[in-house]
Amino acid sequence: MPDQPNVLLLVIDQLRGDALGCFGHPNAVTPNIDRLAARGVGFRRHHAQGSPCGPSRASLATGMYVMNHRVITNDAPTAQHLKTMPMFARELGYEPALVGYTTTVPDPRHAHAKDPRFTTNSIAGGWNIVRDFEEPREHYLAWLSGQGYEIAGKYEALFRPPPGEHDPTWFAPSPIAAEHTDTAWCAEGALDYLRIRRHKPWFLHLGFFRPHPPFMPSAPYDRLVNPADTLPPVRANSAEAEAAVHPLTRLILDTMKVSSAMHWMPGLARDLSLPDVARMRAAYFGLLAEVDHHVGRVMALLEQSGQLERTLIVLTSDHGEQLGDHHLVAKRGYFPQSYHVPCIVVDPRPAADATRGTLVEAFTENVDVLPTLMDWLGAPVPRQCNGRSLLPFTRGEVPAGWRTEAHWEYDFRDLAGGLAHERLGIARDDCSLAVLRGERYAYVHCAALPPLLFDQQADPHWLHNVADDPAHQGAALHMARRMLDWRLSQADRTTTGWAISPQGLRAFDA
């Protein structure tokens, strides 16, 4: 390993696991990310551990499943005793830098009730903040104001279709010029930071907000992908047929607003027309193409400054996006479109040369990201982590006992205006589910609602629940047992590696 290794963690918000050209999507305009994948290893079946941003980012930061860190919604606090990525980096002598956001709420047991951090999300402690894009995004809005834009309200208020006629084939372009978008602003912050740190070791978390909504790209990205060329959504023949699958599915379909993706549009997502879905998808891939452009700028700087050969690069996302699949938008529920995300790992060492440009089919997860970074820096994987390092895959090795399923969790107590428990007739603390996705079957266990089982061999799009089908009862029981095995073996292990002895406190391996 180089004497002074660097870390670049690229987190692209709301990026679906199938949305890159290197993974085969025909609508993706991602040449720079594709070149990044050619330098490293792509993980095709990588999954985030929760949604929306807060739970998933907590898993990235701690290496823990949601059932252990218990950040169940964007507004839920992070327990103060949990050690996070920047804390571990500091212990290794790095000043971890952040461009973007982390969606964190402080522990109310260790902060005063009047602390203004309880009015909005904040950046997790320990980061050296280079550019802060956390809500309410005041730093970016202040900069935009200095560029001559009129800031009259919240960030989302900037994105309104202009009055009058416009081409109905596409959504109207953003009123923000391409050089002034939040994507460009974050990229510039990262480039400035990398220029001044080129002779020192660094650890940079570079987050891009896009292709997160609002789905309104700036020109020329607004016309880059033709809606007529986008893939059709995967969904039942009608929203009613989709809703009939499960009570939770019905609740989401009955309450998910189009404004979750396009805040200027009224109505429910379930009522989106196919032309509107096509326009939304074209806008999504336009926003992603813009991100790709700026990823290319970052990579060019690293290459020109001779930093690539000592930098580990990991690219992933916090969650996916439904994009009209299952008659939904945003990221809610149990469907894989909300949890399947990309992962690319670029290890610059010669030992990884033989695997460059290859794709891994093993199930991997975002809880593996922190262990991977620690492994690269020559440190042991923290005991609290539920994941394992991905670096062996870059050497063509499959670690012994690697997982055979992917796992994610979702707490839906905030659905329907926080009244999901009343709408479903269950307790608020029972508004949760866990998913186990294996090779053939996918199993969804709900705390107080019926389970779901999908035979992915016969039903790859998760349209038919066979949990009560006698022909699949054996599979349902097996998957329920696997779910219990997972939860028992992966329960919080922060202090389970310690014991007393006549010689005092003793640490032992799992």
If phi > 0 it is left, if psi is from -120 to 50 it is alpha, else beta; for residue 323 that is left
Strand ranges in 353-451 using DSSP code E only, listed in sequence order? 358-365, 406-411, 432-437, 441-446
Helices (H) and strands (E) in the chain, counts: 14, 14
Least Cα distance to 28 among 290, 356, 361 occurs for 290
Q: Give the containing element (helix H, strand E) for 204.
A: strand 203-208
From CA 67, how far away is CA 70, in angstroms rounded? 5
Q: What is the dihedral of CA 109, 112, 115, 120, to 10 degrees?
A: 30
Contacts of residue 77, Cβ cutoff 8 Å, sequence gap at least 6: 71, 105, 106, 107, 108
Specify the length of the chain in residues. Answer: 510
Query: What ranges in 95-238 are assigned the alpha helix state H?
Result: 138-146, 182-196
Which of these is catalytic: 22, 53, 431, 446? 53
For the chain, the distance separating the N- and C-terminal CA atoms, rounded to the nearest angstrom, is 27
**What amino acid occupies position 99?**
V
* Cα angle: 230, vertex 235, 237; to 5 degrees: 115
DSSP string, 113-143: TT-GGGGS-BPPTT-EEEEE--TT-HHHHHH
3-state per-residue secondary structure call for 383-409? CCCCCCCCHHHHCCCCCCCCCCCEEEE
Residue 159 near residue 141 (C-beta atoms within 8 A): no
53 carries an active-site annotation? yes
Q: Which two tokens stand for residue 168?
A: 């109905």
Pairing of strands 311-316, 6-12: parallel
Residue 5 near residue 202 (C-beta atoms within 8 A): no
Least Cα distance to 347 among 304, 315, 371, 314 occurs for 314
Pairing of strands 97-100, 203-208: parallel
Token pair 């180089």 is at which residue? 2
* Residues involved in catalysis: 53
